[in-house]
Amino acid sequence: MTEANIHRLVSKLLKMRGAALKLGQFMSIQDTHVLSPAVDRIFRMVQDSAHYMPDWQMEKVISTSMGADWPSCFDSLDRIPFAAASIGQVHRAVLSASHSPTGRAEDVAVKIQFPKIVDSIESDLGYIKMLLTASSLLPKGLFLDRTIDVMKGELADECSYIREASFLRKFGSPDFLGNDPRFKVPWVWEGSTDEVLVMERVRGVNIGEITHQNATRKLSQEERNDIASSILQLCLRELFDFRLMQTDPNWTNFLWNAQTRQIELVDFGATREYTKEFMDNWLHLLQSAISEDRTSCIEWSIKLGYLTGQETDIMFDAHVASMTLLATPFRPTTTQPFAFGSGSAWADITAKTREQIPIMLNHRLTPPPRETYSLNRKLSGSFLLASRLGARFDTRTLWDTIIDRYQFST
């Protein structure tokens, strides 16, 4: 892994856009420390260095999707995108009053999909798999085949902006977050298509920027606590109230608006739905971990597919330890308010969890259940965000508020 080879690999991966950026998201958001520093750096560079389409290509995508008369819908559209994601790029624009749902010209964000991205997913993932397998860059216990398969399904879903628009509307409805003053979900323009998504442009600053040491405005401890607790509570509500979760916990998807005192939520392409049966079983597992019941924890893990039942005691112990550590903030005996950040109780839990990872990679007999790839990514991302904010709040009461009203299937 010379410097030249690292940059060469990043350059190759960036040209593949969707598949490579999705892999970067999978790897860079997890604080697992299972990758070598060089490989971890590659994925983070891929995540942070998205390319964008030339102007002629961007216009061709819009014209093909919306028709040749698309410019009449907008008073203006910035030609250079202000953000790029795994399958598209985002432009600032002004929706004309004649097309706006408010009857006024409105600032909007226009997400434009990379051309033929749907057709490239399988071949690009196949190339990435060959590259990572041949170079032995990843540990065996990550079960690359399953990871690639899950990524393929997620990318295919995210290529439908009509699907994403439906989730934006759902999360913005009164049954979900429409009446929750802590959150803002942007409205979606009815003229959006499967390749061009037009939504209200929100004004907040992403959590990553406001927690950076050079941020121009520093958050108070109370603000940090409120933001982190709201996001973790949202995560639990998505699981146990909605069974529908926006599963990409990237800092840029959570924007803090200091004027409205709201967390603005964007990018619902990675939204996943969970069955009642799965969520019942997963909650049973987490409750077993909270009560530190080793036998029950193993039984529910086998039922869910985390374990086969044929593992060694070494694997059983490591798996149960990792689950009970994850559940620590919600345990009745845990001191509240629970502290995240460096030098905190969470930092100690994170360090102990890392100690279990090499053991599980060496002794795991089966990949985790398909549903848990997205679930764990969001839950761990919510904890990481709280840690980055250095937040302190009552995690047990937050847990009880959600779980006390949960109804298991009979």
Q: Is 78 a catalytic residue?
A: no
**What is the pLDDT averaged over residues 314-321?**
96
Q: Which of residues 97, 132, 157 is at a domain's end?
A: 157
Domain count, the chain: 3
**DSSP secondary structure code for residue 141 in this structure:** G
pLDDT over threshold 60, residue 32? no
**What is the pLDDT averaged over residues 381-409?**
94
pLDDT over threshold 80, residue 20? no
Same domain as 223, residue 149: no
Same domain as 348, residue 283: yes
> Bigger pLDDT: 135 or 157?
157
**What is the pLDDT averaged over residues 281-287?**
97
Same domain as 232, residue 368: yes
Among candidate residues 169, 161, 159, the one with its CA nearest the CA of residue 194: 161
Ranking 155-159, 212-216, 391-395 by mean pLDDT, the lowest is: 212-216
For 108, counting Cβ atoms within 10 Å of its Cβ (0-12 exposed, 13-18 middle, 19+ buried), the class is: buried
Same domain as 174, residue 297: no
pLDDT over threshold 50, residue 15? yes
Same domain as 150, residue 107: no
Q: Tell me, what's the pLDDT at 197? A: 98
Q: For residue range 331-349, what is the model confidence (pLDDT) as tens digits?
A: 999 999 999 988 888 989 9
Same domain as 175, residue 77: yes
> In angstroms, rounded to a whole number, what is the distance separating the alpha carbons of residues 58 and 217?
35
User: In terms of pTM, does the model score above 0.85?
Assistant: yes
Q: For residue range 356-371, what is the model confidence (pLDDT) as tens digits?
A: 888 998 899 999 999 9
**What is the pLDDT averaged over residues 229-235?**
97
Print the domain residue range for 86: 55-113+160-199
Same domain as 217, residue 284: yes
Q: Tell me, what's the pLDDT at 194? A: 96
Q: Tell me, what's the pLDDT at 331? A: 96
Output the domain CATH number for residue 172. Answer: 3.30.200
Same domain as 316, residue 379: yes
Same domain as 378, residue 276: yes
Please report which helix (H) or strand (E) contains residue 264, including its range. strand 262-265
Phi–psi pair at 89, nearest 5 degrees: -135, 160
**What is the pLDDT averaged over residues 171-188?**
97
Ranking 126-130, 197-201, 281-285, 392-396 by mean pLDDT, the lowest is: 126-130
Same domain as 334, residue 253: yes
pLDDT over threshold 60, residue 146? yes
Same domain as 349, residue 266: yes
Q: Which residue of the set 75, 124, 180, 248 is catalytic?
A: 248
Residues 21 and 158 sit within 8 Å (Cβ to Cβ): no
pLDDT over threshold 70, residue 18? no
Cα torsion 129, 130, 131, 135: sign? positive
